[in-house]
């Protein structure tokens, strides 16, 4: 069995959330999360790492994030650092944005529960189209203001295709329960 949980990185500078991007040490960096994004990262760590999410939000055995080295963004990695730490594992950063082919090929060979933190446009353009889905309709557009959705894909043993659904944990004020289209 393989369960993929795909999330977008946390909130970033230049959008509706005030303040600069900040590294985990508090140094301003426009490639990093804003305070609201760090709050979301903590909320993901609680949801997936403390068992408070129930069966819909299982603890991952592996966590993947876009490689932050030389990347246009540190945010996918920053979004999962607290979760990986809580779980006692390291986030796998083998693949950078624009290396979604390699990422998906690796993911398809795994079993268990795997969480992926990535940039929203590349989730819908580079990851989802490469996954064989038998039921459910994945979004083809990710609204730039949405950071609150979990895409869940489940593949049973002995099958090659995934059942897809969107989850809305409503972790922070202003989060929505409306599906992506």
Q: Sign (positive/negative) of CA torsion 42, 174, 4, 79?
A: negative
- pLDDT, position 16: 75
Residue 180 lies in a domain: no
Residue 20 lies in a domain: yes
Q: CATH number of the domain at 23, please.
A: 3.40.50.1240
Question: What pTM, to 2 d.p., does this model score?
Answer: 0.97
Domain with 136, as residue range(s), is 2-167
The rounded average pLDDT for each run of 10 residues, N- to C-terminus, in the chain (181 residues) is 98 84 95 96 96 93 93 92 97 96 98 98 98 97 96 96 98 97 91
Residue 71 lies in a domain: yes
Q: Which residue has the tokens 């932050």?
A: 68
Residue 172 lies in a domain: no
Residue 74 lies in a domain: yes
Residue 174 lies in a domain: no
Number of domains making up the chain = 1
Q: What's the angle, vertex CA 86, arms to CA 81 and CA 89, rounded to 5?
A: 70
Burial category of 147 from C-beta neighbours within 10 Å (exposed 0-12, middle 13-18, buried 19 and up): buried
Q: Sign (positive/negative) of CA torsion 11, 35, 32, 100?
A: negative
Residue 176 lies in a domain: no
Residue 34: how many CA atoms within 13 Å on its side-chain side?
12
Residue 148 lies in a domain: yes
């Amino acid at each position: 069995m393989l369960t993929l949980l795909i999330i977008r990185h946390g909130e970033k500078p230049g959008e509706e959330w005030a303040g600069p991007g900040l590294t985990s040490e508090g140094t301003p960096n426009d490639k990093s999360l804003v305070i609201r994004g760090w709050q979301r990262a903590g909320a993901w760590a609680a949801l997936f790492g403390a068992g408070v999410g129930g069966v819909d939000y299982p603890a991952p055995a592996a966590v993947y994030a876009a490689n932050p080295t030389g990347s246009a963004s540190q945010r996918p990695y920053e979004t999962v650092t607290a979760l990986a730490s809580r779980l006692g594992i390291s986030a796998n950063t083998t693949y950078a944005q624009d290396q979604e082919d390699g990422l998906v090929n690796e993911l398809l060979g795994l079993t268990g529960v795997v969480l992926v933190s990535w940039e929203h446009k590349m989730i819908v353009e580079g990851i989802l189209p490469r996954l064989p889905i038998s039921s459910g309709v994945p979004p083809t557009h990710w609204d730039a203001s949405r950071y609150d959705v979990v895409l869940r894909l489940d593949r049973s043993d002995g099958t090659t295709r995934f059942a897809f659904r969107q989850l809305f944990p409503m972790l922070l004020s202003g989060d929505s329960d409306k599906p992506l289209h």
